[in-house]
Chains A and B, each alone.
Chain A
Amino acid sequence: MNVTEGPGLRPRRNPKRSPWRYVVIAVMLFLALALADVVLTNPNFGWPVVGQYLFSAVILDGLLLTLELTAVVMVVGSVLGVILAVMRTSTNTFVARGAWAYIWFFRGTPLLIQVIFWFNIAALFPRISLGVPFGPTLAGIDANALVTPWTAAVLALSLNEGAYMAEIVRGGLLGVDRGQYEAAQALGMRPSKVFGIILPQAVRTIIPPTANQLVTTFKNTALVSVIGLADLLHSAQVVYALNYQTIPLLIVAAFWYLLLTSLLSYFQSLLERRYSKGYVPRSRPRAATGTSDAVALKEA
């Protein structure tokens, strides 16, 4: 039969679906129903208590503190991370090794230990003083006054964050093609200007791991509850220490953590789209090649 002959265009139909598909759906539905049954009928979940505390002032204050802490830690940690990443690529080996050692130490020890350590820094240095090493002291302050739970939390989480961000930023910088450095240099750009060309390109690869890091950091802030800072988790703990409604209050805290991490993931996808500029062809590419080359052809 010739391709141009035949009974005209045949309509399309989707391929038959496997019958197992329906079995899987049935099993999943059953499991979901069983879970809902347990969760809703077991009175120990204390849903009325959850409802009572979900928007209570004490919980919302805790949430606010958790958000503030996350924001401060993320900003300080990112700046620290960029500095450390640049230090690691330095041709000065002393600088590069220093940054390496920093990252090695802070990534290699549990964050919980770092939090408790900074909170107890007064045990190590009762007075924190400014002065010349081995020389005279210029100013001093009582460590217990300086290192409040808040400063200990910011210090511990930021220093740790810097180490992780350094690796993320370094990965991004290394991912940029050598030719980009050379093209910027060849134009006569000084090192700082070259960095200005490279960083926006690195940002594209830096964003996804940074967003993951942000989610991790947001959840890691719960560790500061051990030093008595009134974050989201600690606020919930304070309430259930009084009314013994442990599970309902953990549900309240988990609800807020889950809601915020979901929002962060959403913003991550928005950001990624924004920074893909010049990498993904635009939705309406204005004829890039082919016939539109008339100008060039005329010359050639």
Chain B
Amino acid sequence: METPMIVLRGIQKRFDSVHVLKGVDYSVSRGSVSCLIGPSGSGKSTLLRCINGLQPADEGEVWVDGELIGLRIDGDHVIPLPEKEIADQRRQIGMVFQRFNLFPHMTALENVMSGPLRVNRADKERTRDLAMGLLDRVGLAERADHYPNELSGGQQQRVAIARALAMKPKVMLFDEPTSALDPELVGEVLSVMRDLAAEGMTMIVVTHEMGFARDVADHVCFMDEGVIVEEGHPDTVLTDPRTARAREFLKRG
């Protein structure tokens, strides 16, 4: 069998005295979409940030496309990599944030170009073409010269997705990409994500949009209090969960 694109083994994370992740094992196969659901504070964001090393795990291993992230194997130990090398590894892991986090002093186009230009020292003309192509793909070619504060939330989030895609990542992580949006702007962002899934991008999506999870996800994980309580096909997990905790969460949601 093909190795999964993302493998997490025994991930643990503490903030001071709070044990946020208590041993998470998780894998996402190539080209599939996995939705992460669960109550607030259950550790979903923290788990995503462990995957790209924004908040390195205290224990456990993250593997992306067969590469150990943030660590170097030395005999029977692992040693944390220096920040520079973790930064290099992050190039293949795109991330989209709840609050967009576009660079406010750059236009939409400059935002999308920022990764390739600054990280890969790519050719400027070619990067401009690439970025315009991506903006077109998220339906914002006409907004290329606008600054983020001149765009709606939905438009900003689509630019943020294009910016992440410009690095040609192998996987995309979404942390509640539509939670900060007005209800009428949610659809345009989800539609871009649907297209991305259809093109075979490997994605982990933290979301409260159960409709999206049901339609698009190949796999759904329910997290609570730092562990994955239940996982499986969306039809099972979302409509007929085995555990009482998942049942209660879905009833409330």
- Interface residues of chain A, those whose CB is within 8 Å of chain B, are 177, 179-180, 182-191, 193, 196-197, 200-201, 204, 277-279, 281-282, 285-286, 288-289, 292-293, 295-300
Contacts and interface: CB of A to CB of B under 8 A. Distances in A.
Scoring B94, B105, B139 by chain A CB atoms within 10 A of each residue's CB, the highest score goes to B105
A200 B54 contact: no
B115 A188 contact: yes
B89 to A, nearest CB: 8
B103 A197 contact: yes
B99 interface: yes
B232 interface: no
Interface string B140-156: 11100011111110110
Contacts of A296: 139-140, 154-155, 158, 188
Interface string B210-237: 0000000000000000000000000000
15 contacts: A185-B54, A186-B90, A189-B119, A190-B84, A190-B88, A201-B103, A278-B105, A281-B150, A282-B147, A288-B146, A293-B188, A296-B154, A296-B188, A299-B188, A299-B191
Interface in B46-87: 52, 54, 83-84, 87
B5 interface: no
B206 interface: no
Contacts of B89: 188
B148 A278 contact: yes
B149 A187 contact: no
B187 interface: yes
Given A187-B164, A296-B140, 17 more contacts: A182-B101, A183-B103, A184-B103, A186-B54, A187-B90, A187-B114, A187-B118, A189-B87, A190-B119, A191-B87, A197-B118, A200-B105, A281-B150, A288-B151, A295-B142, A296-B139, A299-B192
Interface residues of B, number: 48
Contacts of B115: 187-189
Contacts of A186: 52, 54, 90, 93-95, 97, 164
B139 A281 contact: no
Given A188-B115, A188-B119, A297-B188, A179 B106 contact: no
B147 A278 contact: yes
A58 B102 CA distance: 54
B101 A183 contact: yes
B90 A188 contact: yes
B179 to A, nearest CB: 14
Which 5 A/B pairs are nearest by Cβ-Cβ distance?
A: A188-B91, A183-B101, A179-B101, A186-B95, A278-B147
Contacts of B97: 179, 182-183, 186
B167 interface: yes
Contacts of A293: 152, 154-155, 188
Contacts of B105: 200-201, 204, 277-279
Nearest to B95: A186
A193 B119 contact: yes
Given A277-B147, A288-B146, A293-B152, A188 B87 contact: yes
B177 to A, nearest CB: 13
B104 interface: yes
A261 B132 CA distance: 46
Interface string B183-194: 000011001100
Nearest to A187: B115
Contacts of B119: 187-190, 193
B44 interface: no
A172 to B, nearest CB: 13
Contact of A300 (B101, B106, B107, B187): B187
Contacts of A188: 87-92, 115, 119, 167
Interface in B164-183: 164, 167
A299 B185 CA distance: 12
B13 interface: no
Contacts of B152: 288-289, 293
A189 B118 contact: yes
Contact of B54 (A182, A189, A196): A182
Nearest to A183: B101
Contacts of B151: 288-289
A197 B23 CA distance: 35
